[in-house]
Structure 1
């Protein structure tokens, strides 16, 4: 599943979208935000709070779990949807559905009851039957638990260990909660309100549409039939088996091929008036993109990217895609960025639609990344599935990493997605994992609320970053071979992290581990997945022939306590750390292990040369140096900053700001380091520079002292701003090979304006009037901005920021609804901790930094 992030929609690039390209939200969240759609979704917690609660009274995970005395083999599901304005039916049936499910079960232990998950559906008691060879036996429906969503179906006799079939008939509501089978409402081109029916099942919402064993370990085949009104079309996981469906009066009966064995959270149905475009992969997989008819001309890029990515994954994983078709649906109402339902991936509209007449290059990359992420899930998550939600990162962390590999392929490797990984994934993971209220990648789920809590930056970003570090240690060839063997071994089954590491151990034979013997991933990986946090690697004691390298845990608020169950990890917040290091201007990157047990004393060949660890930034840790070490690095940057790669400079700058943030480094040293920036022309180092500036300004807030801080920062940005050109951006924004350069210039201009440079703001204001205010009626989307433009121009800044408000009516409504519920489980403690850290920072640094900025400007 792709997490949902708030983002602006970029409009027409001729000329309005040029203006919007120059107004990213980087001013608030850092340079890399423009491309970042993940990892945290705007999760609609209204329903999840009702389901689970988020306090100590919520049911435990054990109370939620189903007994293991039966397992499902096949669901034969029939759903009839009552959508308004198509056919006549009794008023009380409006926005409801009728359901019938036959479940083939294997009885593993003798039992007199069958326990299923169900929620918000009404079972018809006299229609629940156990089907025996020559008779039907009525099942007694037991009490439903609102806390655990468990329903018992009782028998008068004991079932033995055989195959059995039950049939349940029921009804339910097509809800307005964006979970289960729900209403997707939109306005068509004629202004008519339409309602489609769509599903979202992850993590525990399949039970809202069908009584089932709604846990990921209960894999089964699904045969789906959808009965829907004339004038609509239905799609599901499998390919249709009866063409456009059988007509029965005012209804159409659409039948779909039985799915492979899969978990219930991957079940999907969409009933709508949507239209599609299609294509085929080289292996014959039919690929369709569904959307509102008026958006059909914006689906070609997603189709082409999807086909190419699917073909690439088949080769990369060495496993053929197991379905005959792959549908992707752009939904106007959707709770997340996207969902990887097998054979029927659902997307928020602005995560799938792209047209270069309306959207900018960042949106193009956004679509490619999300498509690549969801298609990666067809193997990592669908073919092989986590056993329980405590290892969710196996699904999401691997998919997050692989999406960057897939997107590189889609764009002919011109956009250097491996480098974009640093600001878009690694930096966010480090920030999220720096607080004490974080959690490990693999963790015991004790409360129901923690199932939802697992969908966060740790699971996605840290998961991907740790796996990328492992890939760098063992090599791409070993990594690919191990992943393929893992997927083949556990196809159509469930797996845990230990299963993955065991496969890696069997494959990797040519890499030395921390103890000097053949590396054991089973020993290395759990240190990074079962304890929270990450190390700060400090290089010190330059004595002429060696340096000492030691580790401590990096922690934003050193006095804050972790949750009790994470407070005393097996490894004591110590890690075996892979060190890639560089001496001076020698671009040969060397490797060593810093073990958990003791510091590393590293021999150096030149006492006057600098040492940089985490060269090329593959490790999931931060670096720091003593005063001598930093001075050597600063000297090298001033002498020839290109002696370090752009990735290495990204790490140096980001980690310097991070060390200063926790009082391990003086800010004066950080700013001394940035004196070289007048010669910096690469995107990656500037991402960390501008992000560091924004972090400081966030501490300063609107205090008068912020003025001198902004002037100081503008002086650092000025050389690059004077080189930046709006014409260059306009001429090259479609050129993928210049994507870094275009984004760099866009971000520099935006940051310079944000800091308050009058010339920059005047240029933007003039451009705004020329290209937006006077042409606000250009295009059907832009015309909606006229009233907002006219009423919003109070000052230069508001006129600039007004450009960020150009959304379609549907997009605005979705953003407002989801934004209102964008609270994360567990985020309250994190916000308290960050607030305390902010107060402490202000006490320690505000006056000192203010004096520094005044003297320096």
Structure 2
């Protein structure tokens, strides 16, 4: 036992010694290894070579990737449409075919190309390297059936980046629909007897004719040929149109027609010169039997229209106006119009006021043609204004284009502003009317939470409905109004110099709004971006509240339905005056306040302050009650002391501030009493628009009677002021007086002033019974006929309907079409609504405005609303791409809405839209709901007060 214990001790000692030795050895090895590592550090092995990943997935947004950039297009379009149906041609076709070769620069190695295509059948796709003509293998191609409209081409081979050029060739076919978008067909009638110069005593014979025309803005070029349909992806285009004999093709540039034979048939082939570098949406082409009239100058000017338009020289005024405004713009902008020609065409059907295509502008007939014998001065003015707008787009939109649709106001706002300058070249001066037409129009939309900023984030504007939603009063009217404000801030001379810099620096390029501000900044010491950024980037506008006893001044986001507005203050430049100083040094308010501004503090209690002289600032002004009262007293004593524009703006501000629950409505109403001594148009029109809102709120209630009596009392003196002109069927010389004469007739007759309704009936009967109809002055026709039909019977309506059908002048038809909506007979209004579904009775482009006219009539409004709801699917299908039609329709048929039932009906329509995942007119629908909610609240709070005030004034 003891021996065993000894052996165990020896063994344990040996194990211990071995363990210690092993540990020491390991330590020694670690030390030696560390020394070696320090002397000879290891080198990492090379990473494995990974293959280059070529992206093939569709883009994550609705924007095209930038792997390829278009340089040029060659497009062949062949519509098979016959412009006239004869015995020889019974197989009418509404198809078109074509092919396109687009040359692109490849920026990164790619196996996938994304373009746009929609409603097309693409039958061939080939991709070749441009310099070698080497053909790349196409694995597959498809059109994505979602809002992206991506046309995806997958290649077997890799396209080399580094700026290598490739040609993408496609053949395709499509259909000429009648939806007033893309490449569409339009119908009209032509007097074939007049064409053949038959004997005069023979009865006229009208036959149907057809034409094919285009509206590619904003995203409809993809419906005609595969293309990179984004405004920044500019390219050069060469268009060739194959068309039937007897027709003429026109496009952006000059064309050379020649005959050719295809499959045994004779065709015309018109090859157009290359365009300047331009966006797809500015392309245009038309095939028709139209005739044209030309004015030779440095730039060839053509007016194209139906043959009958030239029989009475309806195109002459447009030729004259175009030449003068075009010259005026070239001098004003310091930039030559770059094309050799400008074509303008009067279309029987178009869904917009005018297009802005480079070198080929399309208008509705009443927007381009003027008949001296039947046209009013308002018709003449409209032609000049639309032409001025269309020509301004040749620079702002075509020569210089916004980079993306979020800055659409760079086109719309600038052209609207410049059109007021353009018409001055032909003798029209509307600058004083700017506030009525643009500022006050924009104020109405921009006082809603559902408005939008002038410049949104690019990511917020992606889909078709989001893009078309920008074609509204904010983009055009607010855009122009803030530019007018900026021009006053930095002086108009400096502003126009900056505009010249902008056009020169960015011609043929794309811009963001800061590019414009940078060019303007070069011409002034003022901080242009600091002043403008909040007006452009944030929604809405402020109301400036001034307490004249202390000079305390604040600014707040103005909203009809008050929610918490944003906290960012606008930089507000305030021009102001008192009854003792015609204009004081301007004050700039940069904070929300309240701040005390000594310039606004009055010393005497009977002194008054007037801020925002001539309404050059895009904001409203509220005062303490004492100052409002002093301004009212001044208007009643001597209104001439206050500038004309401000007389109108005081009324407009007061009524709208009252609608926003910031002012007692009786203060606004009291301002209108001075109008019995007013004869100027601007104050009257501002007042009538706001009183009309009260009519809309109360014409279905007991408040309407006192309102009508007050309006009769108010308008009598103005009607009498123009009565001699009216009885003699003449008009005043001053243009704004002509507007006011029509206002006087409209308000007097619609509110039952006996001398007016009797006058209207007398003129109507005299003209009705004379052989030569419509001898009254054209300015008066619309309101005279409206009054007679409103107070008349079925025979009066039928007479006007027959005259409408016989009229050949579009402006004349427009007057009659409006008058037909004035009847109080429900069954006639329902019949008229049904006519809007028949293009042979009411042209497709007139459908929306006709429904709007009917909705203006208190008897027609519920009928129009039920009609719109019942035919919503049809209307949205027909006008889904209408740039402004659906928004204006919803606005018109819901303006009277002020009850919970009407609100729920609107919300039901919105819910149905959302269930169908339709974004059509979504913003307009949201705005109608918000406005209705505001109306409900306001009527509940103010109905009795309004009634009491009107009763007290009788």
TM-score norm. by structure 2 comes to: 0.76
Whether 2:304 is the aligned partner of 1:290: answer yes
Q: Is the 8 A contact 1:127 1:168 kept in 2?
A: yes
For 2:746, what is the secondary structure of its paired residue? helix
Q: Is the 8 A contact 1:576 1:593 kept in 2?
A: yes
Whether 2:236 is the aligned partner of 1:232: answer no
* 1:582 matched residue in structure 2: 577
Aligned pair partner of 2:620 in 622, 628, 631: 622
* 1:419 matched residue in structure 2: 432
Whether 2:221 is the aligned partner of 1:203: answer no
What is the CA-CA distance between 1:364 and the residue it aligns to?
A: 1.0
What is the CA-CA distance between 1:841 and the residue it aligns to?
A: 1.7
* 1:155 matched residue in structure 2: 155
Q: Is the 8 A contact 1:616 1:647 kept in 2?
A: yes
Alpha-carbon distance change, 75 to 629 in structure 1, aligned in 2, over 3 angstroms = same
Q: Is the 8 A contact 1:647 1:685 kept in 2?
A: yes
Which range moves more in the overlay, 83-92 or 68-77? 83-92
What is the CA-CA distance between 1:295 and the residue it aligns to?
A: 1.3
* 1:795 matched residue in structure 2: 791
Whether 2:696 is the aligned partner of 1:698: answer yes
Alignment of 1:233-382 (within 5 A): 233-240=248-255, 242=256, 244-248=257-261, 250-281=266-297, 284-296=298-310, 297-382=313-398
What is the CA-CA distance between 1:153 and the residue it aligns to?
A: 1.8
Which range moves more in the overlay, 126-135 or 658-667? 126-135
For 1:552, what is the secondary structure of its paired residue? strand
Tell me the distance in 2 between the aligned counterparts of 1:800 and 1:579. 53
Tell me the distance in 1 between the aligned counterparts of 2:794 and 2:639. 38
Which range moves more in the overlay, 663-672 or 155-164? 663-672
* 1:94 matched residue in structure 2: 93
Deviations 1:603-647 (A, max 9, x none): 357534211001111111111111111122122223321111101
Aligned pair partner of 1:551 in 538, 551, 555: 555
Which range moves more in the overlay, 214-223 or 354-363? 354-363
* 1:758 matched residue in structure 2: 754
For 1:199, what is the secondary structure of its paired residue? strand
Aligned pair partner of 1:535 in 535, 542, 559: 542
What is the CA-CA distance between 1:131 and the residue it aligns to?
A: 5.0
What is the CA-CA distance between 1:801 and the residue it aligns to?
A: 8.5
Q: Is the 8 A contact 1:765 1:799 kept in 2?
A: no
Q: Is the 8 A contact 1:219 1:262 kept in 2?
A: yes
Tell me the distance in 2 between the aligned counterparts of 1:397 and 1:121. 34
| Higher relative contact order structure (alpha carbons within 8 Å, sequence separation ≥ 6) | 1
Tell me the distance in 1 between the aligned counterparts of 2:182 and 2:938. 45
Aligned pair partner of 1:213 in 211, 219, 228: 228
* 1:668 matched residue in structure 2: 666
Alignment of 1:13-24 (within 5 A): none
Tell me the distance in 2 between the aligned counterparts of 1:777 and 1:597. 61
Tell me the distance in 2 between the aligned counterparts of 1:254 and 1:660. 61
Name structure 1 gaps, 5 residues minimum.
Answer: 1-59, 510-518, 562-566
Alpha-carbon distance change, 548 to 744 in structure 1, aligned in 2, over 3 angstroms = same
* 1:713 matched residue in structure 2: 711
Deviations 1:485-518 (A, max 9, x none): 0111111010001111122222212xxxxxxxxx
Whether 2:77 is the aligned partner of 1:79: answer yes
* 1:114 matched residue in structure 2: 113
What is the CA-CA distance between 1:141 and the residue it aligns to?
A: 3.9
Whether 2:676 is the aligned partner of 1:678: answer yes
* 1:165 matched residue in structure 2: 167
The structure whose Rg is larger is 2
Tell me the distance in 2 between the aligned counterparts of 1:406 and 1:501. 22
Tell me the distance in 1 between the aligned counterparts of 2:388 and 2:212. 25
Aligned residues: 760
Tell me the distance in 1 between the aligned counterparts of 2:553 and 2:754. 46
For 2:219, what is the secondary structure of its paired residue? coil
Alpha-carbon distance change, 128 to 88 in structure 1, aligned in 2, over 3 angstroms = farther
Deviations 1:443-484 (A, max 9, x none): 132551211111111111111111111111111111101111
Name structure 2 gaps, 5 residues minimum.
Answer: 1-57, 192-204, 805-812, 815-838, 850-874, 880-884, 888-920
Q: Is the 8 A contact 2:494 2:524 kept in 1?
A: yes
TM-score norm. by structure 1 comes to: 0.84
For 1:337, what is the secondary structure of its paired residue? coil
* 1:404 matched residue in structure 2: 420
* 1:814 matched residue in structure 2: 844
Alignment of 1:384-399 (within 5 A): 384-399=400-415
What is the CA-CA distance between 1:180 and the residue it aligns to?
A: 1.3
What is the CA-CA distance between 1:111 and the residue it aligns to?
A: 0.7
Tell me the distance in 1 between the aligned counterparts of 2:496 and 2:555. 31
Deviations 1:138-188 (A, max 9, x none): 534422101121112222221113122222122111222221111011111
- C-alpha RMSD of matched pairs (Å): 2.7
Tell me the distance in 2 between the aligned counterparts of 1:585 and 1:362. 39
For 1:172, what is the secondary structure of its paired residue? strand
Tell me the distance in 2 between the aligned counterparts of 1:308 and 1:253. 33
Tell me the distance in 2 between the aligned counterparts of 1:90 and 1:245. 22
Tell me the distance in 2 between the aligned counterparts of 1:253 and 1:814. 30
Alignment of 1:705-744 (within 5 A): 705-725=703-723, 727=725, 733=731, 738-744=734-740
What is the CA-CA distance between 1:245 and the residue it aligns to?
A: 3.0
What is the CA-CA distance between 1:298 and the residue it aligns to?
A: 1.1
Q: Is the 8 A contact 2:356 2:393 kept in 1?
A: yes
What is the CA-CA distance between 1:86 and the residue it aligns to?
A: 7.3
* 1:26 matched residue in structure 2: none
Tell me the distance in 2 between the aligned counterparts of 1:229 and 1:726. 56
* 1:833 matched residue in structure 2: 930
Bigger fraction of residues in helix: 2
For 2:614, what is the secondary structure of its paired residue? coil
Which range moves more in the overlay, 715-724 or 291-300? 715-724
* 1:644 matched residue in structure 2: 642
Deviations 1:674-708 (A, max 9, x none): 33222212111111111121111111122122111
Q: Is the 8 A contact 2:409 2:475 kept in 1?
A: yes
Deviations 1:15-44 (A, max 9, x none): xxxxxxxxxxxxxxxxxxxxxxxxxxxxxx
Tell me the distance in 2 between the aligned counterparts of 1:553 and 1:803. 51
Deviations 1:99-144 (A, max 9, x none): 1111111111111122110111111236665655254445344221
